[in-house]
Structure 1
Amino acid sequence: MSLLRALRLCLVARPRRCPRRGLGPSSDLPFSVMHLPLPPTPIRLHPSPPPPSLPLRGPALEGPLLLQSPEPWHSFHAGRWLSSSASSKELLMKLRRKTGYAFVNCKKALEACGGDLKKAESWLHKQAQKEGWSKAAKLHGRKTKEGLIGLLQEGNTTVLVEVNCETDFVSRNLKFQQLVQQVALGTMLHCQSLKDQLSSYSKGFLNSSELSELPAGPETEGFLKDQLALAIGKLGENMSLKRAAWVKVPAGFFVGSYVHGAMHSPSLHNLVLGKYGALVVCETSEQRADLEDLGRRLGQHVVGMAPLSVGSLDDEPGGEAETKMLSQPYLLDPSITLGQYVEPHGVSVVDFVRFECGEGEEAAEAE
């Protein structure tokens, strides 16, 4: 017997009268099914709850129960003072735009300071410094091979600084670049505060510890080490203030400069950023319009050829002279030496400084 035939036998092919429960007295079905015993108690199927848009009614409820909060949800709960007026909310937005901190932190700062914007900003910076110092302690020891060289010139003073981080990605972040700017400004203020009676040029170096203890500036509280902690807290990478060099020149001297891969940003004013930087101190008997271009070419040579000393025009090429600047083949015209290029311009090269980002510690220490 086939399966289909057996199935047909289960369905009796003669009409039967359906019991009179919910149907009319003569409701005949086209076929009848086998009568199965009913369970001792009827099975009640509970209906699905209505969608959230429909009200629920219950015996203990006087009115409808809505499945929707009567008030919108916010990411933070405003305090009494904050919700009291639109001006308080404007303060919150202004503090958020000025500092860049999260709304919840700005709200806490304004509540802690009674709505005083200036005090709230100071409160935020102090809290961020605490968090930054804590994070800096955790990240201490992680290598910082990336970063930027920063060059800043004002009047007769030029500074070159190096600030390091862990990744090239962070070095392209504006907050990190602003840290480099802060270090350059701090170094510039330190150099300008020195009371030098210049008859010749002066040059100085600052190591990591000395940089950390410099004031951050007249418009910023604390020291450069505090700005470093703030940046670590914001960007989440280990960073270091590597070194700085400065040069001051009197009349009759000028400083040529060059930064390889130079980056400029309107928000960073006249700070120049890159991976290599050089300063070249020159003496001249007259000030000419072409000295700036000449100084840039000399800086290019120092970055590209990496001399160890200036040397003299009398040095013969070859041997140890290959590390002496004036006897090296000129970077832009190897058929002549740098000394042969400089001499017709009536300029004497007297000193230089070269920074390469991520150099070994032995090259980074200021002698």
Structure 2
Amino acid sequence: MATITAGMVKELREATGAGMMDVKKALTETDGNMDAAIDWLRTKGFAKAAKKSGRTAAEGLVGVAVEGGRGVVVEVNSETDFVAKNAEFQSLVSSVARAALDAEDLEALKAADVGGRSAEQAVTDAIAKIGENMTIRRMARLEGETVVSYVHNAAGEGLGKIGVLVALRGQDNGIGRQIAMHVAAANPAALDEASLDQAMLERERSVQVQKAEEENSASAKPKPAQVIEKMIEGRMKKFVAESTLLGQAFVVDPDRTVAEAAEAAGVTITGFVRLAVGEGIEKQTEDFASEVAKMNAPREPAQG
């Protein structure tokens, strides 16, 4: 039996919004498996979403660059947000993003020329000068008839905390930027249903089947199997719509979907990329009380 720690309870509560006792029971029932615990809570109706807390801790910037029908977005991490505001660091990220236009993957980017040296060496030199660890963590490419970029929380031209690329077919009349802003805000999992991860779909269906069965068994008037199946299909349809760019309600005009907005504008969305600084990275942090306690702790006398 796995040990259920306070940290695990806190993480699951942040991920699901469920109550303390429900979270503890979920972790106990699933032997500490976080994903299984989320599913358990959703099955019991204690959690509405299958999202993890998404806490991100790494600092830095994403840089975007677009040239013709090609676009790239890169993530360069630093230890602190203070360095992310440094003009020299920002210049470095911009240079790395431009170099990425001709790089096929991350390894090629690290070897690409940036000011007469490799991008990786440029970062190493910046570490020595600025005095903080940095790394070129990720890059993503997108090609299309037209590629539009957008950065959220912009720190400079083509620099920010979230970088988005959207590929369109057809004449862009400004809808491309609106769609890119939507991607930054809504963070869709995929372009359409065909692009969704099948394992994710199967997991969601499993949750919905169990949830429907439990609801039905607890009902005073159980529904027939065909009604339950239709209910499950309806919930899955809603899940797909909320998870895919084309199916989501357009943030600029919530009365229609992104697909409908694109069609009205005479364009077809053929792909998108979204990178946010620090996604998937957790940094060990202490709670505020612990930090204050350390600051006020008596110092050891100097040894003479």
TM-score range, shorter chain: 0.5 to 0.7
Q: Which residue of 2 aligns with 1:277?
A: 163
Is residue 144–residue 238 contact of structure 1 (8 Å, CA) maintained in 2?
Answer: no
CA displacement, residues 15-62 of structure 1 (integer Å, 9 cap, x when unaligned): xxxxxxxxxxxxxxxxxxxxxxxxxxxxxxxxxxxxxxxxxxxxxxxx
Q: How does 1:1-367 map to 2 (within 5 A)?
A: 145-188=58-101, 190-191=102-103, 206-207=105-106, 209-216=107-114, 220-249=115-144, 253-264=145-156, 271-284=157-170, 287=171, 291=172, 293-311=174-192, 318-360=238-280
Distance in 1 between residues matched to 2:112 and 2:57, nearest whole Å: 21
Distance in 1 between residues matched to 2:130 and 2:57, nearest whole Å: 14
Distance in 2 between residues matched to 1:221 and 1:296, nearest whole Å: 34
Counterpart secondary structure, 2:272: strand
Extract unaligned runs of 5+ from structure 2.
Answer: 1-55, 195-233, 283-304
Extract unaligned runs of 5+ from structure 1.
Answer: 1-142, 192-203, 265-270, 363-367
Sequence identity, in percent?
37
Distance in 1 between residues matched to 2:246 and 2:94, nearest whole Å: 33
Distance in 2 between residues matched to 1:257 and 1:214, nearest whole Å: 22
CA displacement, residues 316-363 of structure 1 (integer Å, 9 cap, x when unaligned): 86123211111111112222211221111121111110011111169x
TM-score calculated relative to the size of structure 1 = 0.47
Distance in 1 between residues matched to 2:193 and 2:167, nearest whole Å: 15
Rate the CA distance shift 1:335–1:347 in 2: closer, same or farther, 3 A.
same
Rate the CA distance shift 1:236–1:292 in 2: closer, same or farther, 3 A.
farther
Distance in 2 between residues matched to 1:260 and 1:161, nearest whole Å: 14
Distance in 1 between residues matched to 2:100 and 2:76, nearest whole Å: 12
Is residue 307–residue 323 contact of structure 1 (8 Å, CA) maintained in 2?
Answer: yes
Distance in 2 between residues matched to 1:340 and 1:278, nearest whole Å: 20
- Which runs of 4 or more aligned residues in structure 1 lie more than 4 Å from their structure 2 counterparts after TM superposition? none
Aligned length, in residue pairs: 187
Distance in 1 between residues matched to 2:128 and 2:76, nearest whole Å: 16
RMSD: 2.5
Q: Which residue of 2 aligns with 1:27?
A: none
Distance in 2 between residues matched to 1:279 and 1:222, nearest whole Å: 27
TM-score calculated relative to the size of structure 2 = 0.57
Counterpart secondary structure, 2:256: strand
Counterpart secondary structure, 1:335: coil
Is residue 193–residue 240 contact of structure 2 (8 Å, CA) maintained in 1?
Answer: no
- Residue 281 of structure 1 and its aligned partner are, at CA, apart by 0.8
- Residue 234 of structure 1 and its aligned partner are, at CA, apart by 1.0
Distance in 1 between residues matched to 2:265 and 2:193, nearest whole Å: 16
Distance in 1 between residues matched to 2:61 and 2:173, nearest whole Å: 23
Counterpart secondary structure, 2:140: strand
Distance in 2 between residues matched to 1:273 and 1:308, nearest whole Å: 23
Distance in 1 between residues matched to 2:259 and 2:193, nearest whole Å: 8
- Residue 146 of structure 1 and its aligned partner are, at CA, apart by 0.2
- Residue 228 of structure 1 and its aligned partner are, at CA, apart by 0.6
Distance in 1 between residues matched to 2:117 and 2:159, nearest whole Å: 24
Q: Return the letter of the residue paired with 1:235.
A: I
Q: Return the letter of the residue paired with 1:261.
A: N
Bigger relative contact order, structure 1 or 2 (CA pairs below 8 A, ≥6 apart): 2
- Residue 148 of structure 1 and its aligned partner are, at CA, apart by 0.5
Distance in 2 between residues matched to 1:324 and 1:330, nearest whole Å: 11
Distance in 2 between residues matched to 1:222 and 1:254, nearest whole Å: 31
- Residue 158 of structure 1 and its aligned partner are, at CA, apart by 1.9
CA displacement, residues 106-158 of structure 1 (integer Å, 9 cap, x when unaligned): xxxxxxxxxxxxxxxxxxxxxxxxxxxxxxxxxxxxx9700001111223322
